[in-house]
């Protein structure tokens, strides 16, 4: 599938705006009436009224109730499932990737394989990896376009994003964009990097598979006029070999092909790439004008918070929906809200990119540690002269010269 994509997003000018109001969260109050030993009545009243954090985000002019976006793939494959996503409360939906000639797209079954934690991939182990050999949408483009239009008519204030991919043919890309724009979708995601997207047709695995070079295509996309980057796509992989049959998984008539790897196992890789792209965007572009969408292994609000802390405006979920259902968005929102309350953040922008300044080079880490060791040794040895006293470290400096 062309899920978990790493293309740029191009926002449309006819964006609908949603109005969101912050809600007051009322925690339960209680009244305990007791009689004291001297006959006075004691009334204890406790009522906590706390304002919930605002989860809404505005990305390239598009306002969403929360930063959680359905990633391109099976969860956005037709009208029925996309409608379900909107009804459950997802901030936005990215439809499964479409092309001009869907009749050339033929999927196989089985098309997924899972990796579980534990010895020999025990069936009871937690699913930590997911591989797919699914292609882009095999539904006729005309039907998908009709459903895009229907969704925008029924949900005019919700954000619907189309994902597109074509062969190495500029005219085909331009035609596809023109036809998709006419449906009224809010943005277009250009899928340049599906790792198994029929390379024999020169589609898919041409960009983004070398993680070291991921910043460069992102930089080129932004300089070329795109308004955002989504990272990362699934990673080329072989899920495993069945040790009984000696055949690779997922096995189709005894054979298989490398496919895209997703789920929790790719989360650390995705964090590193999003961090790297975010730092590039911050140093070379005005990141207020561009957006970054983090993708990879999100199943909890904490994992979403990590993407936002390294600079993401939104967080996409695809495999997580396939494993847990569309209702997971409520859990994600609740857990992200709890994280924000814990740190006293009132909005997503309050902490977006907050962890970026703490990434540095290994050489700098060595220097920082050496300096910290030097300072600790200096304090331990005690002050050598009255001129060495400082106001900030006065208590520690005093303690350094106490013998017991």
**Is the Cβ–Cβ distance between 275 and 353 less than 8 Å?**
no
**Is the Cβ–Cβ distance between 195 and 259 less than 8 Å?**
yes
Give the tokens for residue 148: 């895009």
Is residue 22 helix, strand or coil?
A: coil
- Give the Cβ contact number of residue 147 at 10 Å: 20
Is residue 243 helix, strand or coil?
A: coil
Q: Is residue 383 classed exposed, middle or buried when 0-12, 13-18 and 19+ CB atoms within 10 A define those classes?
A: middle
184/187 Cα distance (integer angstroms): 9
pLDDT at 3 over 50: no
323/319 Cα distance (integer angstroms): 6
Torsion of CA 162, 168, 170, 172, to 10 degrees: -60
The predicted-structure confidence for 36-83, as pLDDT tens digits, reads as follows: 444 444 444 444 446 899 999 999 999 999 999 999 999 999 999 999
Q: At what angle do helices 215-223 and 267-284 cross, to 10 degrees?
A: 40
Mean pLDDT for the stretch of residues 121-149 = 91
Range in 97-111, 136-150, 200-214, 357-371 with the lowest mean pLDDT: 200-214
- Nearest alpha-carbon partner for 201 in 73, 101, 131: 101
Give the list of residues 6+ apart from residue 166 with CB closer than 8 angstroms, or none. 99, 100, 172, 173, 176, 203
Give the pLDDT score at 294.
98
What residues are paired with 249 via a beta bridge? 240
Catalytic residues: 194
| DSSP E strand boundaries for 97-185 | 112-116, 127-132, 159-164
The percent of residues above 70 in pLDDT, for the chain, comes to 80
Give the pLDDT score at 168.
87
- Give the Cβ contact number of residue 46 at 10 Å: 10
The predicted-structure confidence for 231-281, as pLDDT tens digits, reads as follows: 999 999 999 999 999 999 999 999 999 999 999 999 999 999 999 999 999
56/64 Cα distance (integer angstroms): 6
Is residue 158 helix, strand or coil?
A: coil
Q: Say whether pTM exceeds 0.85.
A: no
Give the tokens for residue 51: 């304002």
User: 14-23, 43-52, 194-203, 394-403: which has the highest mean pLDDT?
Assistant: 394-403
């Amino acid at each position: 599938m062309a899920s978990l994509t790493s293309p740029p997003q191009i926002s449309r000018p006819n964006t609908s705006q949603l109005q969101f109001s912050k809600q007051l969260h009322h925690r339960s109050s209680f009244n305990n009436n007791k009689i004291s030993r001297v006959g006075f009545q004691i009334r204890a009243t406790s009522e906590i009224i706390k304002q919930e954090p605002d989860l809404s985000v505005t990305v390239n002019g598009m306002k969403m109730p929360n930063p959680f976006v359905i990633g391109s793939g099976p969860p956005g494959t037709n009208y029925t499932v996309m409608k379900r996503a909107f009804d459950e409360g997802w901030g936005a939906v990215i439809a499964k990737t479409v092309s001009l000639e869907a009749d050339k797209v033929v999927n196989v079954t089985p098309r997924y394989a899972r990796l579980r934690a534990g010895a020999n991939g025990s069936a009871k182990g937690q699913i930590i990896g997911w591989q797919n050999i699914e292609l882009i949408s095999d539904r006729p483009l005309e039907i998908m376009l009709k459903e895009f239009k229907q969704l925008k008519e029924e949900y005019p204030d919700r954000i619907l994003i189309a994902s597109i991919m074509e062969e190495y043919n500029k005219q085909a890309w331009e035609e596809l964009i023109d036809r998709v724009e006419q449906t009224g979708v809010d943005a277009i995601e250009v899928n340049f990097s599906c790792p198994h997207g029929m390379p024999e047709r020169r589609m898919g695995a041409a960009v983004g598979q070398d993680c070291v070079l991921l910043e460069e295509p992102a930089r080129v996309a932004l300089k070329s006029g795109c308004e955002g980057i989504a990272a990362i796509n699934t990673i080329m992989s072989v899920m495993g070999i069945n040790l009984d049959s000696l055949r690779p998984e997922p096995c189709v008539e005894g054979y298989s092909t490398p496919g895209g790897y997703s789920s929790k196992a790719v989360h650390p890789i995705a964090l590193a790439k999003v961090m790297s792209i975010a730092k590039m965007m911050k140093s070379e572009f005005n990141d207020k004008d561009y957006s970054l969408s983090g993708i990879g292994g999100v199943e909890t609000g904490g994992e979403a918070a990590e993407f936002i802390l390294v600079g993401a405006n939104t967080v996409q979920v695809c495999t997580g929906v396939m494993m847990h259902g569309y209702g997971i968005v409520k859990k994600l929102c609740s857990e992200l809200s709890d994280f924000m309350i814990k740190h006293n953040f009132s909005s997503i922008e309050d902490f977006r990119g907050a962890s970026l300044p703490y990434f540095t080079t290994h050489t700098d880490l060595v220097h920082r540690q050496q300096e910290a060791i030097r300072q600790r040794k200096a304090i331990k040895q005690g002050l050598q002269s009255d001129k060495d006293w400082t106001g900030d470290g006065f208590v520690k400096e005093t303690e350094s010269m106490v013998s017991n």
